[in-house]
Chain A
Amino acid sequence: MTTQPNLAPPAAAKPRSRLYRMWDSDIFFSFRRSPVTIVAAIVAVLLIGAALLAPWIAPYNPFDPSSLNLMDGFTPPNSQSMMGNYFLMGSDHQGRDVFSTILYGSRVSLFVGVLATAFAMLIGISLGLTAGYVGGKTDAVIMRVADIQLSFPAILIALLIFGIARGIIPPSKQENMALWVLIIAIGLSNWAQFARTVRGATMVERQKDYVSAARIMGVHPLFILVRHVLPNVMAPVLVIATIGLALAIIEEATLSFLGVGVPPTQPSLGTLIRIGQQFLFSGEWWILFFPAITLILLALAVNLLGDWLRDALNPRLR
């Protein structure tokens, strides 16, 4: 076979600062070279930043009933209501500023998305590491469960978990716990992808001789898993986590759209779209349009970053 030219950099290169080395690394090189990725990163940072800073930059507090006025209702974008209030993206039926509800809504969407992904990652990585390292029956059982999970759409599993939670938790507490139920439901419906990837990578890594070397020295298996194997399986996990975040945000929006997601007191982007849908056909398009665009941009930006990350970490695909 043809051997790829092996260009090891000269070992005695001048030491540069860590920051420079990062900037100069292949990953950032591919980042600098991809305008789409740069735009996606900027969009993602803007959207996430705006969501985090919502209380400070939102012109109105849409959830303060005292500030709401039904007379403000249905104001078109970029105009003033009869009450003299200016609405950049218009207002909804209750007179809430759409721009402000989007800022707060993105906050809820991101909160759920990030925590759900983190939860899925935690389960997936621990099960994947265990399955890959221990092997045998443990592996077979874990992977069979993961297979089953993967073949059911996440939305169905999330719906089921949600339904179960609704049946178990007393109604009085449901509203307080809804957000957490949602996070757990989405997390539990997305762990399998992590588990599979981590398990595959772990099986490769544990065959490698640096693991054998550690075993010869009598290093504790847990230490081997955490210090040796885990850092080496993180690259694909990072890719899945990014794409998983986009999926989780979409999943949350879908559940909220179906009316089984976040409570109405904390509307997410999906809830806003559900509300907006009622007015789409009567001409008040902005109530749906702006939350929908925000959701799409957010998911698209995160997906684009994930896509770039996958290509950058796996140079064979280029």
Chain B
Amino acid sequence: MTRLPPALVLGAALSGVFLIAALVSLVWVPHGVTGVSIATRLQPPSATHWLGTDQLGRDLLSMLMVGAQTSIAVALLAVGIGISLGVPLGLAAAANRGGWLDEIIMRGNDLIFAFPSLVIAILITARYGPSASNAILAIGIFNIPVFARVARGAALPLWTLDYILAARTAGKGRFRISAEHILPNIANLLIVQATIQFSLGILAEAALSYVGLGAQPPVPSWGRMLAEAQTMIYTHPMLAVLPGFAIVLTVLGLNLMGDGLRDVLDPRLRRGRA
């Protein structure tokens, strides 16, 4: 086993902390996050409230943990939408390079890219009502062309290789070749791209819920915590600083992990080692 790159280890550790926090929050949080308790509002960190409480007296640590759950779930599902639709489209486009299918898929992709993504996300959530599921849909739609493009871009050079020609002379069709030869060989790149889109999804979710178009109260989310803290930034800056740190560390962790994975999975590097 070769040594793992430090970026991968650090990134996995950072994002792992928040993933675990999110998982733990499914079964247990230090304090409930739905109850309002004016008596304990805006408390500094203490033994009972490790990170203090917010303007409604909710435990900040608990809020952050449940918020992680929201962020991660939204981003993960949006990545799922992107992969499950984008990758088949990209593979189909590459398998029919230059054909009408390729043309339609790529023009459609260009078009989605031409939209300022967050504007459309805002439009969708504004028209159909703000909710976590609309946020997932809005972010997910913009993941589709990203994965389609990465899959097509990575698949195209493979299609010119002799082993694909050999598979064709072995009588295999484009669909089967895409599944047997192309997909396994571009999986690395897709995994790396998935971590990047995951982190972008967390940023986008935070932005949407910051403007009130993400998960709705009383479900906590990092973005809305920031929005609510904004008016108190003069008096209680920590309320604004902590959720921000949670976002930054999660996104940083995922990006570092993506970089590290790229180093580990890059076939060029592996060939060098072999």
A, B co-complexed: no
Chain A residues close to B by CB (< 8 Å): none
Chain B residues close to A by CB (< 8 Å): none
